[in-house]
Structure 1
Amino acid sequence: MALDVVDLRAFYASPLGHVARQAVGRVVIRLWPHCQRQRLLGLGFATPYLPLIGGEAERVIAFMPAAQGVLNWPSQGLSASALVEPTLLPLPTASVDRVLIVHALEETESPEDLLEEASRVLNPGGRLIVIVPNRRGLWARMDTTPFGHGRPFSRSQLENLMRRAMFSPENWAEALYVPPLRRRLFLRSAGAWEKFGAGLALPFAGVHVVDATKQFYRQAPLRATRRSFAFRPVLLPQPTPSRRLTRDRGASPPPG
Structure 2
Amino acid sequence: MHADIVDLREFYHSQLGRLASHSITMALSSIWARLPEERLIGLGYAIPYLERFREDTERTFAFMPAGQGAVNWPPGELSSTALVFDEELPLPDASIDRILMVHSLEYAENPRETMKELWRVLAPGGRLVIVVPNRRGVWARMEHTPFGSGRPYSRRQLTALLRETNFTPGAYADALFFPPSKLRSVLKLRGIFERLGRMLWPMFAGVIVVEAQKRLYQGLPVAVRASRRVFVPVLAGHGVPTTRKHAKSAAPTQGLDNPQLHR
SS of residue matched to 1:163: helix
Q: CA RMSD in A?
A: 1.6
Residues 35 and 54 in structure 1, CA contact (< 8 A), matched pair in contact too? no
Are positions 1:123 and 2:123 aligned together?
A: yes
**How far off is 1:225 after superposition?**
3.6
Larger radius of gyration: 2
Find runs of 4+ consecutive structure 1 residues off by over 3 angstroms: 225-229
**How far off is 1:194 after superposition?**
1.5
Deviations 1:86-113 (A, max 9, x none): 0100001000100000101000111111
User: What TM-score do the two structures reach when normalised by structure 2?
Assistant: 0.84
| Partner residue, 1:239 | none
CA distance in 2, matches of 1:162, 1:83: 25
Q: Percent identity?
A: 48
| Partner residue, 1:176 | 176
Residues 31 and 172 in structure 2, CA contact (< 8 A), matched pair in contact too? no
SS of residue matched to 1:73: coil
Which structure is higher in helix share?
2
| Partner residue, 1:102 | 102
CA distance in 1, matches of 2:195, 2:219: 39
| Partner residue, 1:246 | none
SS of residue matched to 1:58: strand
CA distance in 1, matches of 2:179, 2:12: 16
| Partner residue, 2:261 | none
- Superposition map of 1:59-208 within 5 A: 59-200=59-200, 202-208=202-208
SS of residue matched to 2:47: coil
**How far off is 1:200 after superposition?**
3.5
Residues 139 and 179 in structure 2, CA contact (< 8 A), matched pair in contact too? yes
CA distance in 2, matches of 1:33, 1:187: 30
Residues 63 and 84 in structure 2, CA contact (< 8 A), matched pair in contact too? yes
Q: Alpha carbons of 1:119 and 1:198: their partners in 2 closer, same or farther (altered >3 Å)? A: same
Residues 33 and 53 in structure 1, CA contact (< 8 A), matched pair in contact too? no
Structure 1 unmatched ranges of 5 or more: 230-256
Residues 72 and 81 in structure 1, CA contact (< 8 A), matched pair in contact too? yes
Deviations 1:188-234 (A, max 9, x none): 221221222123452110000001111121111222144789xxxxx
CA distance in 1, matches of 2:191, 2:55: 25
Residues 28 and 173 in structure 2, CA contact (< 8 A), matched pair in contact too? no
- Superposition map of 1:49-64 within 5 A: 49-64=49-64
User: What TM-score do the two structures reach when normalised by structure 1?
Assistant: 0.86
SS of residue matched to 1:212: strand
CA distance in 1, matches of 2:104, 2:30: 22
The count of corresponding residues between Structure 1 and Structure 2 is 230
Are positions 1:224 and 2:219 aligned together?
A: no
CA distance in 1, matches of 2:192, 2:126: 34
Structure 2 unmatched ranges of 5 or more: 230-263
- Superposition map of 1:33-48 within 5 A: 33-48=33-48
SS of residue matched to 1:113: helix
SS of residue matched to 1:100: strand
Are positions 1:7 and 2:7 aligned together?
A: yes
Q: Which moved more, 1:179-188 or 1:8-17?
A: 179-188
CA distance in 2, matches of 1:168, 1:191: 33
